[in-house]
Structure 1
Amino acid sequence: MKVIGVGDNVVDMYLDQGKMYLGGNALNFSNFARELGVKSSFIGNFGTDEIANYAKRALNKLNIDISHSHTLNGENGRSRVALKNHDRVFIDSNNGGVLKQGLNMTSRDIDYINQFDIVHFNINGNANQYLTNIKGPTLIYDFSDLYEINDIKRIAQYIDIACFSVGSMSDQNISKMVKEINSFGIMDILITRGSYGAYFFHDSKRYIQKPVKVTVVDTMGAGDAFITSFVIKYKETDCIEESLKFAAEYASQQVQRHGSFNNPEKIPSKYNVI
């Protein structure tokens, strides 16, 4: 199996630690897949600043293929973060940096993506215009907690598994949301709920996964870890219950470390000033 993330890479700067870590929904997907022993690649935009140089150094060490990514003049995606009761809180960001210029994928890039088993798109990836070109891979789309129902409806026909983060949303409202999304033709829906666990809906049937109780260090990347491990195991086994359990255990490991990646570097001093 091989997988690819398409869209955002973000360098998360933890001001309380003075360290920066790689992140971003699509890049997290690629990295967590690599951790799980799956060959992974990433397509996105990198800037020309020192933050982009850090990102590329880290990815080269991790053996994540970024050969189809593009380097554009400007700032790499970045955010500044603090921890509050072990929960990551975003202070500010540059809203994706050079990703705002557009992903601008070529036909060669599309052909490359279509060789993979799973492709991950997301609401922050600025790549929706390419969904119609994806032919072959299982397409995962992460709407996070930033979705509007009309946005889902517009792209539903391209999505195999839709993912949402809903926090403490009531079961009644979740069921209502799922029913509406089903009406758009998406029958596989993964809903992560933080410390409340997760739901997976398959053909309207709900499967429940309770959280694994651990001492939380940092919640950064927990949802991405759950999504990645679930879809990989689901693709391998076609067993929902086994995949949910596997994902809960993997996500519980993620919240016991800082940041989404294990290759932090010191934050450049100019970003430490608020």
Structure 2
Amino acid sequence: MKIIGIGDNVVDVYIDQNVFYPGGNCVNVLVNAKRNGAEKASYLGIFGTDDAAEHIKYALKQEHISFDFSRTTVGKSGHPGVNINALGDRVFVGGPRDTVQHIVKLNLTENDLDYIKGFDVAHVSRYSSMESELEKLSKVISVSYDFSNGYSEAYLSQVCPFIDYAFLSAADLSDEAIEELLKTMKPYNLKVIGITRGAQPAIFIYNDKRYIQEPVATQVVDTMGAGDSFIGGFLRAFMDGEPIETALALAASSAAKTCGFHGGFGYPKNMTS
């Protein structure tokens, strides 16, 4: 399986540790797809010109993920603040709004699209600011999209016509609300709908059949990137033709491993004043 992630890269700033870790939904998914056996994983996005951007690039190189078609814009990288609670759950505490991810938008060129055609799937997230690019992207490749917890009916109607794989985070939704969400998404005829629910079983819909994946028991250090790890593991196995039950088991195992260390995929770096 060859996967390209298009969109967000950030560093997650752990306030209590005074360190930051490379991350961002797209970057995390790529790293975990590669760690779970993807033949090729590449990133296309916008980098800043600060130490944070250099550290993200360093980590991507270490994980054998290319970023040749990415852009660089003068400015600072996204760096949301993070606290870890007593249960190991990461809690975002906001970040600056004057970063390159906020002030510059990625516009896909014909050269980009020709390059993207060489992959099996493109992964995008709601943090990628790629909504206006989805239609032309969908004409050259299958699209995976992580809605996180942002899935109003209006937003679903804007995005779902151009994607094949939808992933949603719904740890806070009741069973009844999840059923309503699935009912809302059914008319879009997506290939896969995946709903992760934190420590509760994940719900996946494929070929109108429902699959339930229990989480893998683990000692939780930090939940940062666990959902992204689940997606990366699932896409790798599913896109390589493995049965969905096998793909889900691998995804759950991948997420459990990610909960065992700090950061989305490691690589801490001390903050400088």
Structure 1 residue corresponding to 2:101, chosen from 89, 99, 119: 99
**Residue 251 of structure 1: aligned partner:** 255
Mapped partners of 1:59, 1:87: distance in 2: 25
Deviation at 1:95, TM superposition (A): 4.6
Seen in structure 2, the aligned counterparts of structure 1 residues 96 and 241 have a Cα distance that, compared at 3 Å, is: farther
Mapped partners of 1:128, 1:142: distance in 2: 12
One-letter code aligned to 1:129: S
**TM, length-normalised to structure 1:** 0.93
Please list, as runs of the form range in 1=range in 2, the aligned pairs for 1:89-128 lying within 5 A after superposition. 89-95=91-97, 97-100=99-102, 101-128=104-131
Please list, as runs of the form range in 1=range in 2, the aligned pairs for 1:1-274 lying within 5 A after superposition. 1-38=1-38, 39-85=40-86, 86-95=88-97, 97-100=99-102, 101-134=104-137, 135-269=139-273
- The answer as to whether partners of 1:234 and 1:243 remain within 8 angstroms in 2 is yes
Seen in structure 2, the aligned counterparts of structure 1 residues 116 and 13 have a Cα distance that, compared at 3 Å, is: same
One-letter code aligned to 2:62: K
One-letter code aligned to 2:18: G
Structure 2 residue runs without a partner (length 5+) = none
Mapped partners of 1:137, 1:162: distance in 2: 15
Mapped partners of 1:209, 1:61: distance in 2: 31
**TM, length-normalised to structure 2:** 0.93
- The answer as to whether partners of 1:78 and 1:96 remain within 8 angstroms in 2 is no
One-letter code aligned to 2:53: A
Mapped partners of 1:268, 1:80: distance in 2: 15
Q: What SS class does the counterpart of residue 93 from structure 1 fall into?
A: coil
Q: After the TM superposition, list the runs of 4 or more consecutive aligned residues in structure 1 that deviate by more than 6 angstroms.
A: none
Deviation at 1:237, TM superposition (A): 2.6
One-letter code aligned to 1:224: D
**Residue 272 of structure 1: aligned partner:** none
Q: What SS class does the counterpart of residue 11 from structure 1 fall into?
A: strand
- The answer as to whether partners of 2:46 and 2:73 remain within 8 angstroms in 1 is yes
- The answer as to whether partners of 2:131 and 2:158 remain within 8 angstroms in 1 is no
Mapped partners of 1:87, 1:148: distance in 2: 24
Mapped partners of 1:95, 1:260: distance in 2: 21
Count of aligned positions:
269
One-letter code aligned to 2:241: T
Taking CA–CA contacts closer than 8 Å with sequence separation of 6 or more, which of the two structures ends up with the larger relative contact order? 2
Structure 1 residue runs without a partner (length 5+) = 270-274
Deviation at 1:136, TM superposition (A): 4.3
Deviation at 1:138, TM superposition (A): 2.5
Deviation at 1:147, TM superposition (A): 2.2
Q: Percent of pairs identical after alignment?
A: 39
Q: Which moved more, 1:179-188 or 1:254-263?
A: 179-188
- The answer as to whether partners of 1:115 and 1:136 remain within 8 angstroms in 2 is no
